[in-house]
């Protein structure tokens, strides 16, 4: 019997690790599974764990207001070291590119415990964007033993950086597993916004790179889209971070066809993605979920590590200039042929079997 310690800190990590935790829990004759939450983002993380009925065995409760990356890293290193020592696992599992994931991998390495990395190999090739995530995921690739890559592009990125080929496994992205699990359940959820004949444009924008001028531009574009297109209903899930709340509320509150919502629990958000006409976002995970649902995604970022959706014609990188956001949005609204070309459901990020593949591989590997 091998013990696996799964470390989770933020909402996207919980969404993408939940199917893996459930899959390895099912292999109870092989694995004892322990879950450690750093609660890097407490308020939006816990509902995801509840949704998948996962209760952390260890809760490090690390979140503090206005925490700097260095401060979080230092406190996480001390707490995660103790947590790993107390569990003494055979494997530490991390996901993605957060500070939680990077520090857990480093803390495991210091104790000579192997690390499995879920969603390995995503790269923009610009270490400053996204910051610090591009560096975090590269560091994990150097520290890790088992690299579960979502796509062929990710496999190739890892191999080209010198990660041994035999340690890289193509699995698909576990976000598609999570999406499918929730879609099966979310049929009877209400939508949290009024649904009428207006087309819903679903919006999220809360990356660090978007703070300041880019977010100001995004708000300006949304204001123009709303006033020029009364047949549209903009629904924006607004992250609790004050760097997002303040400009968004200042610019968009009280507009007729703009609804500002608190972050939605995952099952509500999935329902809304399914009901919308298309998505405007700077999110990583939503770039994967949108194409799977046949919803065009306009990516309001300067760079992305998710090219597969763009190559498949399901998403488009449009930057953060307000004129471009307005023009690309209106093109999708007015040109039905362009819309239809983007609105084809594509499975470029996985087929919903990634967690199963990972759990089967772990039986062989451990």
User: Which amino acids are annotated catalytic?
Assistant: 97, 119, 133, 206, 208, 239
Q: How close are the terminal C-alpha atoms of the chain, in Å?
A: 9
Which residue among 38, 237, 322, 359 contacts ligand UDP (CB under 6 A)?
A: 237
Cα 89 to Cα 322: distance, rounded to the nearest angstrom? 49
> With CB under 6 A as the contact rule, which of the stretches 62-70, 240-248, 249-257, 284-292 interacts with ligand UDP?
284-292
* CB distance 342 to 332 below 8 Å: yes
Q: Is 204 in the site for ligand UDP (CB under 6 A)?
A: yes
- Tell me whether residue 31 or residue 281 sits nearer to ligand UDP (CB atom): 281
CB-based contacts of 146, cutoff 8 Å, min separation 6: 91, 114, 115, 116, 117, 167, 169, 361, 362, 365
- 286 in contact with ligand UDP (CB under 6 A): yes
Q: Nearest 5°: phi and psi at 171?
A: -125, -15
Query: Is position 284 an interface residue for ligand UDP (rule: CB under 6 A)?
Result: yes
CB nearer to ligand UDP: pick between 109 and 173: 173
Which residue of 119, 134, 177, 289 would you call a contact of ligand UDP, by CB under 6 A?
A: 289
The residue (of 11 and 357) whose beta carbon lies closer to ligand UDP is 11
Residue 95 in the binding site for ligand UDP (CB under 6 A): no
User: In whole angstroms, how close is the CB of 52 to ligand UDP at the nearest point?
Assistant: 12
Question: What does the block give as tokens for 223?
Answer: 């204001």
Q: Is 271 in the site for ligand UDP (CB under 6 A)?
A: no
Residues 239-268 that bind ligand UDP (CB under 6 A): 263-264, 266
Question: How many DSSP H helices and E strands does the chain contain?
Answer: 15, 13
CA distance 246 to 107: 36
Q: How far is the CB of 223 from ligand UDP (least distance, A)?
A: 21
Show contacts with ligand UDP in window 109-138 (CB under 6 A).
none
Pattern 140-179, ligand UDP, x by CB under 6 A: -----------------------------------x----
Candidate ranges 7-15, 18-26, 68-76, 147-155; the one touching ligand UDP (CB under 6 A): 7-15
Q: Is there a contact between 345 and 141 (Cβ–Cβ < 8 Å)? A: no
Using CB under 6 A, count the residues that bind ligand UDP. 15
Task: Report the residue number, 56 or 285, with the smaller CB distance to ligand UDP.
Answer: 285
Q: Tell which positions 9-68 bind ligand UDP, by CB under 6 A.
A: 11-12, 15
| Cα gap 98→165, rounded to integer Å | 24
Number of other residues whose CB lies within 10 A of the CB of residue 161: 12
Contacts of 120 (CB under 8 A, 6+ apart): 137, 140, 141, 144, 147, 148, 149, 154, 158, 168
Q: How many CA atoms lie within 13 A of 95 on its CB side?
A: 27
φ/ψ (deg, to 5) at 242:
-55, -30
Residues that bind ligand UDP (CB under 6 A): 11-12, 15, 175, 204, 237, 263-264, 266, 269, 283-286, 289
């Amino acid at each position: 019997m091998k013990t696996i310690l799964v470390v989770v800190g933020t909402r996207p990590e919980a969404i993408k690790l939940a199917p893996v935790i459930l899959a390895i829990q099912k292999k109870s004759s092989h694995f004892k599974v322990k879950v450690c939450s750093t609660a890097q983002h407490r308020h939006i993380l816990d509902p995801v764990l509840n949704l998948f009925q996962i209760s952390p065995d260890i809760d490090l409760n690390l979140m503090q207001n206005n925490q700097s990356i260095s401060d979080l890293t230092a406190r996480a290193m001390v707490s995660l070291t103790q947590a790993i020592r107390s569990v003494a696992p055979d494997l530490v599992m991390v996901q993605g590119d957060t500070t939680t994931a990077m520090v857990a991998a480093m803390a495991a390495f210091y104790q000579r415990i192997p690390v499995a990395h879920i969603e390995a190999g995503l790269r923009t090739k610009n270490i400053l964007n996204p910051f610090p995530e591009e560096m975090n995921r590269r560091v994990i690739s150097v520290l890790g033993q088992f690299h579960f890559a979502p796509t062929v592009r990710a496999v190739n990125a890892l191999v080209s950086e010198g990660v041994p080929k035999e340690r890289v496994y193509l699995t698909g992205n576990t976000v598609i597993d999570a999406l499918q699990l929730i879609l099966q359940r979310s049929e009877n959820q209400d939508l949290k916004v009024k649904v009428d004949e207006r087309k819903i444009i679903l919006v999220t924008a809360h990356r660090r790179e978007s703070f300041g001028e880019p977010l100001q531009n995004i708000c300006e574009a949304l204001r123009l889209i709303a006033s020029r297109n009364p047949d549209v209903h903009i629904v924006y899930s607004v992250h609790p971070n004050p760097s997002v709340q303040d400009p968004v509320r200042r610019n968009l509150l009280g507009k007729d066809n703009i609804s500002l919502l608190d972050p939605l629990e995952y099952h509500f958000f999935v329902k809304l993605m399914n009901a919308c006409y298309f998505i405007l976002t700077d999110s990583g995970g939503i770039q994967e979920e949108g194409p799977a649902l046949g919803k065009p995604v306009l990516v309001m970022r300067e760079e992305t590590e998710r090219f597969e959706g763009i190559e498949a014609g399901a998403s488009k990188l449009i930057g953060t200039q307000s004129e471009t956001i307005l023009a690309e949005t209106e093109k999708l609204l007015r040109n039905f042929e362009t819309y239809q070309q983007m609105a084809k459901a594509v499975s470029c990020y996985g087929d919903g079997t990634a967690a199963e593949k990972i759990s089967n591989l772990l039986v062989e590997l451990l």
